[in-house]
Amino acid sequence: MSATNARGMGGFHDTRHISPSALSARSYGRALLAAAREDQRIVCLGADLSASTQTDLFRDELPTRFFMMGIQEANMVGAAGGMARAGDIPFCHSFCVFITRRVYDQIAMQVAYPKLPVKLVGFLPGLATELGVSHQAIDDVALMRSLPNMVVVEPCGPEQIGSAFAAALSHDGPVYLRLMTSSARPDDGKPAVPFTIGKAEIARRGQDVAIIAAGIMVQQALDAADALMERGISATVVNMASLKPLDETVVKELAQTHKLIVTAENHSRIGGLGSAVAETIALRGLRVGFGMIGVDDVFSEGAKLPYLLEKHRLTGKHIANTTEALWRDRVKP
């Protein structure tokens, strides 16, 4: 690196205070606003989806740092790269599919390669939209995971939004936040779940099988664990909100203490959480049974989420059935 590179490839270095109200927020929009009140460098970019991305709060309170770019995702990501190079911390918002696949090259060149503190925030993960294949992001984790310098985070729900947001803001580099709107799960009463980049959270401890899930699939995995318990199979459930970097240590521990690992994701089985865990198992030579649950290599269709989860065999019931079958076929013949 040349002597003229004082700016560095990593943007900036500082110690940043993150307000308690951001950390404890149960919605992304409130977390972003709380942090932005205290950090003048945070700017908010939108692509005609303020309400859908919970950024209307920011728009109304901090209008001089809110940039409505219009229906121009490519330009939004490029501009964010320019803003970050000028010292800002841009948060870019759209639906998951449009903040990843639609702008992949812009992200690669203007965000990931220069390792800028641009945060890409997507809503409608996986099948979670009635709007059909145009709006369903079943390949976004695969795409973002394969970009050098990119961190990929999918919190399990409102109880992990604040900590995931704080980690994304603190990280000196690009982050993709894959979010579900909290209106789908208004459970403010649940205890907050911590989040650290590169660390998984154990949601439930069992002995026989371990189900590793992310996002909305954590709850499905917990439901599956209840069903499995009734069938005499004790399941650990792991919330792998840090999709990249993956918590390889926890995968190794699970492989040593369980006979079967099953992944469950609201995403194609190609390139996402399941692939990441499979790579870890294969490359570390871990001896453990393994199965992957996710969307088959097909496009889906527009319908309500419960219907689609059922159709693609992603509900707790299906996870339990698949896991039980694997357990009987491979572990307890």
**Locate tokens 């990931």: which residue?**
112
Considering only residues 64, 191, 283, 285, which one is a binding residue for another protein as defined by CB under 8 A? Answer: 64
Give me the amino acid identity at 104: Y
- Given a contact cutoff of 8 angstroms between Cβ atoms, the answer to whether 276 and 251 are in contact is no
Considering only residues 20, 60, 63, 82, which one is a binding residue for another protein as defined by CB under 8 A? Answer: 82
Output 69 or 308, the one with its CB closest to another protein. 69
Residue 43 makes contact with another protein by CB under 8 A: yes
Residue 95 makes contact with another protein by CB under 8 A: no
Cα 67 to Cα 74: distance, rounded to the nearest angstrom: 14
Q: Please, which residues have CB within 8 angstroms of residue 120's CB and are 6 or more apart in sequence?
A: 77, 92, 99, 100, 107, 111, 144, 174, 175, 176, 177
Give long-range contacts, CB 8 A cutoff, 24+ apart: 13-17.
Answer: 13/172, 16/169, 16/170
Residue 94 makes contact with another protein by CB under 8 A: no
Residues between 5 and 34 that touch another protein (CB under 8 A):
5-7, 9
Cα 16 to Cα 23: distance, rounded to the nearest angstrom: 13
Residue 295 makes contact with another protein by CB under 8 A: no
Residue 264 makes contact with another protein by CB under 8 A: no
Residue 325 makes contact with another protein by CB under 8 A: no
Q: Which stretch binds another protein (CB under 8 A): 69-77, 126-134, 210-218, 257-265?
A: 69-77
Q: Which stretch binds another protein (CB under 8 A): 75-83, 145-153, 173-181, 216-224?
A: 75-83
Output 104 or 290, the one with its CB closest to another protein. 104
Residue 86 makes contact with another protein by CB under 8 A: yes
Considering only residues 20, 70, 186, 245, which one is a binding residue for another protein as defined by CB under 8 A? Answer: 70
Considering only residues 62, 74, 202, 303, which one is a binding residue for another protein as defined by CB under 8 A? Answer: 74
Catalog residues that contact another protein under the rule CB under 8 A: 1-7, 9, 43, 64-65, 67, 69-70, 72, 74-75, 77-88, 90, 105-106, 108-110, 113-114
